[in-house]
Structure 1
Amino acid sequence: MIIPLAISASLDVTYEVDELRHGDITRPNAVTRVAGGKALNVARSAAALGAEVQAIVALGGPIGDWVRAMLTDDGVSATVIPLRRVTRTCTAVVESAESTTSTDLYEPATALDVDEWDAYAAAVRTLVGEAVALGPAPWVALSGSVPPGVPLQQLGALLGELRARGAHVVVDGSGDGLRATAPAAELIKVNRGEASELMETDFGSAADACRALRERFGADAVVTDGVAGSAALIGEVEAAVPAPRMRGRFPAGSGDSFLGGLLAAFERGEDARSALAAASDAGVRNALVPGQGRLAPAS
């Protein structure tokens, strides 16, 4: 089982336009909406690849209700912790048929009150405990920003507790949230800039960053590096993952789909090299269609 921890969920909207007119009206040619935030993108891509997924998601207000309905439509099982505040909206604007980048507007993560965080943490302990008891050990994935109201020390301690109880813990984050959670991780998935910020070192390559993360945290690592591709250090396997030859129009969410593909392959029992190939394929397929965490049909 894969258990994404979606504490910073969102409604993700993709607008396709001919040209973004700054300071004027731009009318989209197409609009795609998905249940988003990095953890739900991981959940959707992993579920699409056949993995057993049970997300734990904090949602509030009418937008939160909409996101919850979208998860059901996508076939993603979710335990929902209700919030008093309204779930945020994040927007990606994709210009012209030739574009391979997007302009992204991301609202801050929706804050949690103390009792909401306590309810969220309790739900995580219960679900992960049940999954560990049933076996095999679940993959618990924390992806994205940490909202206001979530105590970083408590979050790191919670992940450490889950790992001590037998769960595999994966983190994909940045800044203070990553610093608080990396020590509990079995697998750290970041880009080279995030790794450099965490380690306070400007790494010359993704491979160097993987080795440094292993040395500091004793964790497996996957470090992405844009057009230079990615590097991975998983167990005794040190691998380079070349940048995809095909670059799609919709790059937002490709890193999350990469992680979803990786965890889905691990859940199937695949080895590190096969899992990395599956992850790379999922990232490419995400970029071919609008909607973060959605995958184009396999070729």
Structure 2
Amino acid sequence: MTGSVVTVTPNPALDITYTVAGLRPGGSHRVPAPLTRAGGKGVNVSRVAHQLGCPTLVISTAGGGTGAEFAADLRNSGIPNRLIPVTAQTRRTIALVDTGADLTSIFNEEGPALSASEWQRLVAAVVESLATAGVLVGSGSLPENAPADFYPALVELAHRAGVPAIIDTSGAGILAAAKAGADLLKPNNDELTEAMGERDLVTAALRLLEMGARRVLVSAGAEGMLAFDAGTPGRYLCARLPEPLRGNPTGAGDAAVSAAAVALAAGITDLEEILRRATAWSAAAVLMPAAGEISPRHQELAGQLIIRRY
């Protein structure tokens, strides 16, 4: 790798994961103690990269009691980080994994607003990190009253430093990042169709390329993952496993982004190789109990993938 995977998480969370063997709506359940860890999409990207021994840096915020827990978990995990102290309390997300029905329900608290000076310190930390970055990743939702151009600005900062930029967000942020020329966008099927107002995934992804994105990966659940490259307009790849895996899909998308980020930081630009890694890491994340880690079976899963060209 030519540099670190630098992740920017403007709306982090303390992730709390409960597991129950059969959920009865309205009923009382006895459950094991939850798994609690620092989360947010960018943090999960860095956690996976760190697990596999790839250099990474988390840039995020932390505030209040949950922010202290968030910071302590990162410290205990050994993941390099730079946290900007903020006044607002770091939000929480709760994942309820029903192993009986093989379903996971997510409850995301809304992110509190940051002050203008807190946004400035966050951006300043990003600028300082680019000297040793191999790729810059902006992930997740934005907190209340966030600058509308935050993710496009990240792309511009990265490109000024000669660093590729990956953006994984939803809504209008996808369109803005595409127009800014992001090197890779990673929506899932619902995020893509909602943002583009287009039900056909291929048509929607090609429109992102037309807007300026260089590559697009689209998670399509059991159907696998689609990959598009502006260098080959009108063509795309699809990768999937012979059979879908059972497990917790909460961090699958973040694992795919981590795989793409590690590849770009290593100078790998071949679309099929990026797709193979992203799909395998995504699948390996489903086998783990919480977001931010992948199963050692990721190499085995990569060898099982069915990849088709269209």
TM-score by length of 2: 0.86
What CA distance in whole angstroms lies between the structure 2 residues aligned with 1:35 and 1:232? 30
Residue equivalent to 1:121: 123
What CA distance in whole angstroms lies between the structure 2 residues aligned with 1:148 and 1:89? 15
- Local SS of the residue matching 1:152: coil
What CA distance in whole angstroms lies between the structure 1 residues aligned with 2:254 and 2:118? 26
What CA distance in whole angstroms lies between the structure 2 residues aligned with 1:268 and 1:145? 27
Instruction: Report the residue type matching 1:112 in the other structure.
Output: L
In the TM superposition, residue 212 of structure 1 has moved relative to its aligned partner by 2.1
Residue equivalent to 2:243: 245
Residue equivalent to 1:179: 175
Q: Write out aligned runs for 1:140-155 (5 A).
A: 140-155=136-151
What CA distance in whole angstroms lies between the structure 2 residues aligned with 1:293 and 1:154? 24
Determine whether 1:26 maps to 2:29.
Answer: yes
Distance 1:103 1:4, change over 3 A: same
In the TM superposition, residue 19 of structure 1 has moved relative to its aligned partner by 2.5
- Alignment check: 8 A CA contact 1:114 1:149 kept: no
- Local SS of the residue matching 1:11: strand
Residue equivalent to 2:291: 292
Distance 1:158 1:170, change over 3 A: closer
Determine whether 1:35 maps to 2:32.
Answer: no
In the TM superposition, residue 175 of structure 1 has moved relative to its aligned partner by 1.2
Q: Write out aligned runs for 1:59-208 (5 A).
A: 59-96=62-99, 98-128=100-130, 130-131=131-132, 138-184=134-180, 185-203=182-200, 206-208=201-203
In the TM superposition, residue 274 of structure 1 has moved relative to its aligned partner by 2.5
Moved more, 266-275 or 169-178: 266-275
- Alignment check: 8 A CA contact 2:209 2:216 kept: yes
- Local SS of the residue matching 1:102: strand
- Give 5+ residue unaligned stretches, structure 1: 133-137
TM-score by length of 1: 0.89
Instruction: Report the residue type matching 1:11 in the other structure.
Output: L
What CA distance in whole angstroms lies between the structure 2 residues aligned with 1:246 and 1:152? 37
Count matched residues.
Answer: 290
Distance 1:143 1:218, change over 3 A: closer
Instruction: Report the residue type matching 2:29 in the other structure.
Output: T
Q: What CA RMSD, in Å, does the superposition of the two structures yield over aligned residues?
A: 2.1
- Local SS of the residue matching 1:92: strand
Percent of pairs identical after alignment? 29
Q: Write out aligned runs for 1:258-297 (5 A).
A: 258-270=256-268, 271-297=270-296
- Alignment check: 8 A CA contact 1:241 1:276 kept: yes
4+ long deviations beyond 4 Å: none
- Alignment check: 8 A CA contact 1:109 1:147 kept: yes
Residue equivalent to 1:135: none
In the TM superposition, residue 40 of structure 1 has moved relative to its aligned partner by 0.7
Distance 1:154 1:247, change over 3 A: closer
What CA distance in whole angstroms lies between the structure 2 residues aligned with 1:187 and 1:251? 21
